[in-house]
A and B are shown apart, each in its own frame.
Chain A
């Protein structure tokens, strides 16, 4: 029981990270109907930017952990947003209105570019980092097993919830959110009604990238080690989360992220760690086969 509770806590934490990445996938897919394959790598870039910022702040002599983390978060999110913007501008915008495969291939190319860019500029070795938020509380202990809730996990969950709340507010209450929703419903019609669709799409990428960068920071803090390849698997899993929750739906993305995080954690805990990715991918396949619209998605009727 205690063991299961511990896994629940770990799974929710992991799920929050996946959820944050999944939001970027689901937004882009909702608006322009493409899988932004490079999104996972933006997450990786965000993790690297966070690492550089943390090491840099440490060398500057800033010892206050909350201050360092907030500066890092803003810094990584800001520069990753620029990356998101640049990726959209270079690789996707010229292909808007082209046939469906073109942006996907271009996105795969961009993903390769980002991975190898980071590999070349930062080295191929894994980057370890000491733990920044140590300690935690012991919730309960039974059968000689203590359930730990670390401060780190609390920080991750709270940050994610704040960001998601802010993001939901942005989408539902602001003019930008209104144009995003309009573009999602009908891009051409939105353009006809005077919405600057290019700008809206750009901003969608910017926001998605910023959220992914925050997820990257959390990943770095939680696991303490990153390399240039983390984006691929995390990206596929986050996309799985987006599909599981129903692509195009924001609460769905978070719900899907939680589900994937929990499945992965429980699978690792009770079956085998090696096959945890297989478990996550199998879920993706099963969901798509039996529930193609996901948990909260709308049925997509194809018209002639």
Chain B
């Protein structure tokens, strides 16, 4: 405590300076709100909001500095958490899986809907993980494939009358084709350039969907997308012949459909997980991981970098397409608004927070981020603000994600967990 007493004035000064900067930032932006007046804009002063914001910064900074001063010495906390997480990992996964499998038995409608949402992002995260986490290709336009999948299903169902299970593989194949189309020209690019080109592609696809009104309905989107069936049995609230409830002779209930959708996305997500785990053991998956670590070494060892990168793009895109088709059938309505850059950023954040390459980490990250931002739903317009702040804070505090150590897919003899600070990141 004596250490704290001597440093206290310095801490107060630091917090005071932060408050001063916050005042500079907020005085105008929060303090003066532009409102529509009778003829032109007028300013409405809001001094109390500024005082509140500045006070929040002051005490927030104070609390942070005090915590930094008084926190227990020894092994830094993140490392202990990581180690504990890694050890607990083999027990967490079966428990999470068991909870996920049995959720519809005891959870209500709200929790199932939330579960579907989280699982959709888990699946997207695992899909993007192939591209970013395994192959080390930074993709900021992943939502494009999600959109391709969703629109493929919606259009095929609407114009050709095909069902969900026929369209699902088609949507995946179409998205994979787009992945190859996108991947082909950008193969030569590295790192940030690749990121910005994929972002541009994502935007191009969104703008085209938005403006190609005759095909996609433009901003109005497509509605009345058919729901999936269970071997031909429909899930309708009214029951009736050919419905699930009628066939099994039970009371028709909307929760049945939600539970069915839940199991569909759970199955799709587990498929994604299984495929990527298996792929990691194939020569292809090993080539991806090698590519992530060092592209030049890969070339020197005779790995076909073109094919390797393209398959990663195609594989990731395919799962994005599956997830998109599911999204379309769950919502029964899609519009370009669902496929903005923020979705790409969200999925990428999940993958990075999950620790780039860790399947369990991605699932936990999706649970925390999507579930967490769902908890803040009442805050309405503050929700994204909090999301952004959380993103920055998580990056600053734990840049390597929740599960930041890495177990090598290939090793000689016994496998050792690689500590987070030793994981060399591929530059590609």
**What's the interface size class on B, roughly?**
35 or more
Interface string of A76-87 (1 = CB under 8 A from B): 000100110010
Interface string of A21-47 (1 = CB under 8 A from B): 000000001000111000000000100
Give min CB distance, A249 to chain B, whole Å.
15
A91-B396, A101-B425, A121-B30 in contact; A236/B199 too (CB < 8 A)?
yes
A35-B192 in contact (CB<8A):
yes
| Least CB separation from B189: chain A residue | A288
Does B10 sit within 8 A of A, measured CB to CB? no
B392-A128 in contact (CB<8A):
no
9 pairs of A and B residues whose beta carbons are closest in the complex: A109-B391, A112-B388, A113-B388, A102-B399, A281-B200, A99-B425, A116-B385, A106-B395, A109-B392
| Least CB separation from B184: chain A residue | A289
- Interface SS of chain B: helix
A-B interface pairs (CB < 8 A), number: 188
Interface positions, chain A 208-245, Cβ under 8 Å from B, are: 232, 236, 239-240, 243
B34-A122 in contact (CB<8A):
yes
Which residues of the partner chain B approach A35 to less than 8 Å between Cβ atoms?
Answer: 192, 195-196
Does A95 sit within 8 A of B, measured CB to CB? yes
Q: How far is the CA of A274 from the CA of B195 in the complex (A)?
A: 24
Give min CB distance, B104 to chain A, whole Å.
33
Q: Which of B296, B341, B389 contacts A113 (CB 8 A)?
A: B389
B25-A106 in contact (CB<8A):
no
17 pairs, CB–CB < 8 Å, chain A vs chain B:
A48-B34, A52-B34, A82-B25, A90-B392, A100-B191, A101-B425, A105-B349, A106-B392, A109-B388, A113-B392, A120-B381, A124-B381, A129-B40, A130-B40, A240-B196, A243-B196, A281-B203
Q: Which of B197, B208, B387 contacts A288 (CB 8 A)?
A: B197
Does B382 sit within 8 A of A, measured CB to CB? yes
**What's the interface size class on A, roughly?**
35 or more
A56-B43 in contact (CB<8A):
yes
Q: How far is the CA of A99 from the CA of B392 in the complex (A)?
A: 15
- Beyond A49-B29, A101-B132, A284-B196, 19 additional contacts (C-beta under 8 Å) are A48-B29, A48-B34, A55-B34, A79-B28, A91-B392, A94-B396, A95-B395, A95-B396, A101-B425, A102-B399, A109-B389, A112-B391, A115-B388, A116-B382, A120-B385, A236-B199, A274-B211, A278-B204, A278-B208
Does A143 sit within 8 A of B, measured CB to CB? no
B40-A55 in contact (CB<8A):
yes
Which residues of the partner chain A approach B388 to less than 8 Å between Cβ atoms?
Answer: 109-116
| Least CB separation from A87: chain B residue | B392
Does B356 sit within 8 A of A, measured CB to CB? yes
Which residues of the partner chain A approach B132 to less than 8 Å between Cβ atoms?
Answer: 101
Q: Which of A91, A123, A284, A304 contacts B296 (CB 8 A)?
A: A304
Does B162 sit within 8 A of A, measured CB to CB? no
A123-B207 in contact (CB<8A):
no
A122-B34, A123-B34 in contact; A239/B381 too (CB < 8 A)?
no
A128-B191 in contact (CB<8A):
no
Give min CB distance, A221 to chain B, whole Å.
14
Which residues of the partner chain B approach A116 to less than 8 Å between Cβ atoms?
Answer: 381-382, 384-385, 388
Q: Which of A55, A95, A98, A236 contacts B42 (CB 8 A)?
A: A55
Interface positions, chain A 191-223, Cβ under 8 Å from B, are: none
| Least CB separation from A85: chain B residue | B21
Does A125 sit within 8 A of B, measured CB to CB? yes
B196-A239 in contact (CB<8A):
yes
Does A108 sit within 8 A of B, measured CB to CB? yes
B29-A121 in contact (CB<8A):
yes
Which residues of the partner chain B approach A33 to less than 8 Å between Cβ atoms?
Answer: 192
Interface positions, chain B 82-120, Cβ under 8 Å from A, are: none
Q: Which of A52, A101, A239 contacts B32 (CB 8 A)?
A: A52
Does A292 sit within 8 A of B, measured CB to CB? yes
